[in-house]
Amino acid sequence: MEVLIDNRNGTVWDMPVSSVEWKTARIGKVGALNVDLILTEPLKHPVNSGDVIRVMDGKEKVFYGYVFEVSFKKEGAVSVKAYDQLKYLMYNDTFVFPSTTATTAIKKIASDAKLKIGILEDTGYKVPGIIEDDKKALDVATKFLDSTLIATNRNFVLFDNFGALDLRNINNMKIAADDFFIGEGSLLFDFNYKKSIDEETYNRVKLVHDNKKTGKREVYIAQDSANIAKWGRLQVFQKVDENMTEAQIKDLLDRFIKLRNRETKSLSVDCLGHWKVRAGSFILIYIEKLGIKEYFLVNECSHKWSAGVHTMSLEVKVI
């Protein structure tokens, strides 16, 4: 395990490390790194706020980010907390965008924050114009991606890819099963599987449109009577953009009910680690006793490395 600290003054330290923890989340959180170093003479090898920290395991690029916190303990133990570039999108401001794609909006937000941009895939769909006051930049980017998902059923993930912001369709984040998979007889330590209609499940969708020409509020409803009889009525309400046409609203209504009118299936697993797995990845999980053999989307991922042993804990869901 290689941990390099760049003081940004021409000095780069190769630090002895005892443990590494790297966490990523698919929505609304920054990538975080916690590292325990062994420094008997910390003044000779200083670690300062704002330093660049790079972590690699052999040829695997693990983390590239910036030091935000350093704590010193007895006997040379030094703990470092660092974040990736998404940390710099946690500021609040006013954001005004005309109708545009999530890709264009995210590129503008990242450029304004002076961040390094990597691969930004085209999301295609033009989200209606928005005005957001006193909102976090990352939350605004997430809102664009949420609107794209509802309108197109295409799911994108924004993340820091070793020092550059990437925006990828989750279908392009799939890890081939012959490269890595998790199963009862392979890598898996423990799991918890859950089916739920408690969150993000709706069998009745109600959209309203304020028509300025007629001065009337138009109401559009889609529902699944069979699932209402089975689960009770679970309604979501949304006011749509006034410039949307009737055809666009009906199309949105149809996509919304198809996306949300189903049980959510989530799974948490503890297993041996693989550095290619991060929030936004698609991975194959095989648990024979539950009849599970399918690809899951990683919502949250926590890697831990200590004494040469690499493990990870995952929160995943079916898409």
Query: How much is the pLDDT for 222?
Result: 97
Encode pLDDT of 179-238 as tens digits. Answer: 999 998 778 999 999 999 998 899 999 999 999 888 899 999 999 999 999 999 999 999
Encode pLDDT of 68-112 as tens digits. Answer: 999 988 777 899 999 999 999 999 999 999 999 999 999 999 999
Contact 304, 20 (CB under 8 A): yes
* Nearest Cα residue to 158 out of 56, 28, 284: 28
Contact 317, 266 (CB under 8 A): yes
- CA terminus-to-terminus distance, the chain: 34
Kind of pairing, strands 165-169 and 117-120? parallel
pTM: 0.86
Query: How much is the pLDDT for 127?
Result: 94
Task: Look up residue 53 and give its two tokens.
Answer: 């920290």
Confidence of residue 13 (pLDDT cuts 50, 70, 90): confident
Confidence of residue 39 (pLDDT cuts 50, 70, 90): confident
Compute the residue count for the chain. Answer: 319
**Dist CA 73 CA 142 (whole Å):** 38
**The pLDDT of residue 318 is above 90:** no
Count of beta carbons in the 10 Å neighbourhood of residue 8:
12
Sign of the C-alpha dihedral computed for residues 36, 40, 42 and 45 taken in this order: negative
**The pLDDT of residue 289 is above 90:** no
**The pLDDT of residue 157 is above 80:** yes
Encode pLDDT of 235-288 as tens digits. Answer: 999 999 888 889 999 999 999 999 899 998 889 999 999 999 999 999 999 998
